[in-house]
Structure 1
Amino acid sequence: MGYIELAIAIVAEVIGTNFMKASVGFTKLIPAVATIISYIICFYTLSLSLKTLNLSVAYATWGGVGIILTTIVGVMYWKQEVNIPQLIGIGLIVIGVVVTNMFSEGH
């Protein structure tokens, strides 16, 4: 169940981050409220996942997958460009998440 809760936390974080961008510095009410609601869901489900998942595994996965999904949404929806150094950095994060998951005890 921990990984399901973690997946919900990741999706909620990505949604919240995109609403944050759409809120234009919290000057637009509906996206600002959606940001807050999304982050409440995110942190609540992340906290639930920590009942069964190792903290380092959960946090590394949450952060790493969140960065990947946020980048994809940024490119596809917000039409942002990603350069080679950014892709290398994201690749290093992915490697870190994989290593953390592979060699962590109790996950």
Structure 2
Amino acid sequence: MPYVLLGLAIVCEVTATLSLRASEGLSKLGPSAIVVVGYLVSFFLMSKALTSLNVGPVYAIWSALGTVGAFVGGVLLFEEPVRPMAIAGAVIIVLGVVVMNLGGGVSQG
């Protein structure tokens, strides 16, 4: 169950981040409301996941998948450019999370 909560937290965080872009500097009410609700729900869900998972690897997973999700969402929704260095950076971020989890796992105890 904690992994489901973490996955939902990541979805909410990516949604909030993409809505931040769509809000045009928080000047549009709808996207701005999604930003606030999305981040609040994301942090709430992550806090619940952290009751049984270790904070370091969980935060690494959350931030890495959030970064990659925002990158992909920006490309798909806002036609942001895809550059080879950006792809390399996303791969490095994901590899870093994999290495971190291989080194200690995410379960408390």
- Is TM more than 0.5 here? yes
TM-score by length of 2: 0.93
**Large movers: runs of 4+ above 6 Å:** none
Q: Match of 1:55?
A: 55
Residue 9 (structure 1) aligned with residue 9 (structure 2): yes
For structure 1, the 5+ residue unaligned runs are none
For structure 2, the 5+ residue unaligned runs are none
Q: Deviations over 1:20-69 (max 9, x none)?
A: 11110011111111110011100000111110111111000001111111
Report how far residue 76 of structure 1 moved. Answer: 1.0
In structure 2, how many angstroms separate the alpha carbons of the residues matched to 1:47 and 1:24?
A: 29
Letter in 2 for 1:74: G
Secondary structure of the corresponding residue to residue 27 of structure 1: coil
Q: Match of 1:80?
A: 80
Letter in 1 for 2:13: E
Q: Match of 1:33?
A: 33
In structure 2, how many angstroms separate the alpha carbons of the residues matched to 1:64 and 1:103?
A: 17
